[in-house]
Structure 1
């Protein structure tokens, strides 16, 4: 699977190029064009569809529901990534959602505003705005509001804290919270707050 982007950063489109018989999971409503012969097996109301290329291969064009960028995040099989919930536009079977002890320590038994992915290949992310990459040096600290966080590798140290301990907070949405990160590592943030 290969990913090519266009119309970025305001109205990003991802062209996913599939080899013969190769498949990709994506939100069904995000696909607006494809090569002839591509098949779709629709998921349930909240499940992604599976698009499969015919024997000669094919492509499909995907776009997020709203304005913003698309960002292909390449997985190398060595490092997993924590990704903003609802940010995944498309993924091959070789990139899987999994449970990770770091998120369980952060959120407890609740489903928080992040998901963990690992494997190999490109994970296509839908972003609310242009993507900024912060390269943190060893010991460098940065704080990010959860609504702007897109992804970070699980090797980066982080801490979740309340902006105002007496104010309203939500682990599910990130409201009233801040995440502190310590380098070394890479942070991906979106310039506009996720919807």
Structure 2
């Protein structure tokens, strides 16, 4: 699978190029266009049976163009099979079957408790295509360097970083589902991906 991007960083579109039989999972509504003959199958999920669509290339290969609902950038995050990434919820535009969602990843459960937080964890190898509200900045931290990031601007961070979630004002309103009233402290080494605009 190869990812080509265009119209970035304001109105990003990702072209996912697939070899024979390769597949990628995405929201059906994100499809702009595709090569002729690309297979589409819906995956059931939850009580309503709504889930993502899997696009599969025919014998001669193919491509699909995907665009997020909102203006902003598209970013191909590479996974090496060794290091996983925690990713802001609802920013994944496309995912190959070689990258899995780890719904019960222990560090995120420790961060959020029993609640469903504003992050999800992925691992595997390949490219995970993300949709951000603005251009993506990579903030590289040296060993022992610490920064603070607002959840509304966070895109993703690798397992190599230490992360702490804390309240801005312990007496103020807080939500682990949205990140309201919270901040994240990161200690290096590693790279934090942030977006230049907050999601609406």
Q: TM-score, normalised by structure 1?
A: 0.98
1:46 positional shift: 4.5
**Matching residue of 1:36:** 36
1:46 and 1:109 map into 2 onto residues whose CA distance is 24
2:161 and 2:79 map into 1 onto residues whose CA distance is 16
Question: Over residues 42-76 of structure 1, what are the superposed CA-to-partner deviations in whole Å (9 max), with x where a residue is unaligned?
Answer: 23564210001111000000000010000000000
Q: Paired residues, what number?
A: 195
2:52 and 2:113 map into 1 onto residues whose CA distance is 26
1:42 and 1:106 map into 2 onto residues whose CA distance is 32
Q: Return 5+ residue gaps in structure 2 as ranges.
A: none
**Matching residue of 2:84:** 80
**Matching residue of 2:100:** 96
**Matching residue of 1:112:** 117
Residues 88 and 105 (structure 1 numbering): CA distance in 2 closer, same or farther, change over 3 Å?
A: same
Give the alignment of 1:88-167 within 5 angstroms.
Answer: 88-98=92-102, 99-167=104-172
1:191 and 1:63 map into 2 onto residues whose CA distance is 18
Q: SS of 2:29's equivalent?
A: helix
1:68 and 2:108 aligned: no
2:176 to 171, 176, 179: 171
Question: Over residues 99-124 of structure 1, what are the superposed CA-to-partner deviations in whole Å (9 max), with x where a residue is unaligned?
Answer: 31110100011110000000000000
Q: TM-score, normalised by structure 2?
A: 0.95
Give the alignment of 1:41-52 within 5 angstroms.
Answer: 41-44=41-44, 46-52=50-56
2:35 and 2:59 map into 1 onto residues whose CA distance is 12
Q: Return 5+ residue gaps in structure 1 as ranges.
A: none
**Matching residue of 1:4:** 4
1:86 and 1:138 map into 2 onto residues whose CA distance is 30
Structure 1's consecutive aligned runs of 4 or more residues displaced over 3 angstroms after TM superposition are 43-46
Q: SS of 1:14's equivalent?
A: strand
